[in-house]
Structure 1
Amino acid sequence: MSINQPNTKVATEIKTPAEAKPLAQTGNFVRENQKSLTFIISAVLALIVIYFAYQKFYLAPREVEAANQMYVAQDFWDKKQWDKAINGDAGYPGFAKIVDEYSNTKAANLAYYYLGVAYLNKGDYKKAVDNLTNYRGDDLIIAAQALGNTGDAYVEMKDYDKAATYYKKAADKGNNSFVSPMYLKKLALVYEAQKNYNDALDAYKKIKTDYPESNEAGSIDKYIARAEAQKQ
C-alpha cells in the first residue's frame, strides 16, 4: 500500500514562510505603487511614440529637403568652383549653410566632407580639418578619403606628426588596392621628411607586398632603394 509513502508532489508545492514572504512583499509593492508604475509605463510608451513621430514626420522630410538642396552645391564642387560650393549662389545654398540648417541629417554629414575638401583646395587648412574631422559616414572610401585629406591639410601646415597619424588611419580604413597604397605612400613620404627612414621603408615595402597590383607598386622599388640609401 502507498499510505506510508511521502506525498512529494504536495510537499514541493507548499511554500515555506520564508519563501512566501518575498512574494507577499512584491504584491504589496505593486498595489502600493500602482499609480507610479502606471505613470512610468505611460511615460516610456509616450517617449517611444514621440521618437518614431520625430523620425517619420520631422527627420525624414528634412533628409529629403537637405538632399535636394545639395544638388547644386555638388555641381559647383565637381566643377571646382570652391567659393560657390561653400557659400552657394542667389538661388541655392552652399555646403556651409546645409551643415548649419540641416544638422543631424545624412546630407549634412556628407556636406562636412565636401566642405572640408573645398576649404583644402582654397588653402584654408584649419577649416578643412575642422570639417573633415566632423564627417561620420558609413562609406569606407569616403571615410578614408576624409582622413587622408585631413593628413594633406596637416602636411600643408607642416604638422608632420598629425599628418602621419591621419595617413595611417586612412590607409587602414580604406583597406583596398586603390586607397590604401595611395595613403601608405604619402605616409612614407612624411616619414622621409622627418628623416624616419625605417618607418618609411616599412610603408613602401607594405605597398609592394600587400598591394602589388596598385599603381603605386609599379614604381615603388625606386622609393625603397632611396629609403634604404638614406637609412645608411
Structure 2
Amino acid sequence: MATEVKQTEQQSAPAQRSAEDRLASSFEGFWNKNGKKVSYALLAVVVLVGGYFAYNHFVKGPENEKAGAAMWKAESNFRVDSFALALNGDGTTANPGFLKVISKYSGTKSANLAKFYA
C-alpha cells in the first residue's frame, strides 16, 4: 500500500515539473519575442506618470498660488458688498477682479472659485 502511494507521488511530481517547465519556457519565449515592446511600454507609462506629477508640481502649483494672490482683494471687495469692483477690479495689478482671474488663470482652483463668485 505504501509503495502504491509513493509511486503515485513520483508520477505526479514529474507532471508538475513539466507543467512548470512549460510555463517557464512559454514565458521565456514570450519575453524573447516581445521583451523590447514590454520594456518600452513600461518606460512610457513611467514617463507619463512622472510628467503628470511634474506638470502639477512645477506648472499648476505656482500658477494656482499666483491666482490666489491675485484674487484676495476681489474677495475682500465681495465681502463688503462692492460687487462691481469685485467682478471687474479697479484696473490695477493689486485688484484685477474675478473676470481677469478667470481669463488669466483658467483651469486653476482659484479661477474655479472666481467663477463661483462671479
TM-score in terms of structure 2 length: 0.79
Structure 2 distance, partners of 1:86, 1:14, is 78
Residue in 2 that maps onto 1:29: 30
Aligned residues: 115
Structure 2 distance, partners of 1:10, 1:89, is 90
Residue in 2 that maps onto 1:14: 15
Structure 1 distance, partners of 2:22, 2:55, is 46
Structure 1 distance, partners of 2:102, 2:88, is 11
Compare relative contact order (CA 8 Å, sep 6+) and give the higher one, 1 or 2.
Answer: 2
Structure 1 distance, partners of 2:14, 2:61, is 56
Alignment match of 1:105 (pick from 93, 103, 108): 108
Report the CA distance shift for 1:8/1:18 in structure 2 as closer, same or farther (over 3 A): closer
Higher helix share: 2
Report the CA distance shift for 1:63/1:7 in structure 2 as closer, same or farther (over 3 A): same
Residue in 2 that maps onto 1:159: none
Residue in 2 that maps onto 1:3: 3
Unaligned segments of structure 2, at least 5 residues: none
RMSD between superposed Cα atoms in Å? 2.6
TM-score in terms of structure 1 length: 0.43
Q: CA deviation at 1:37?
A: 0.8
Q: Where do residues 1-232 of structure 1 align in structure 2 (5 Å cutoff)?
A: 2-5=2-5, 6-8=7-9, 11-12=12-13, 14-15=15-16, 21=22, 23-91=24-92, 92-115=95-118
Report the CA distance shift for 1:98/1:23 in structure 2 as closer, same or farther (over 3 A): same
Structure 2 distance, partners of 1:63, 1:85, is 19
What stretches of structure 1 move > 4 A for 4+ residues in a row?
A: 16-23
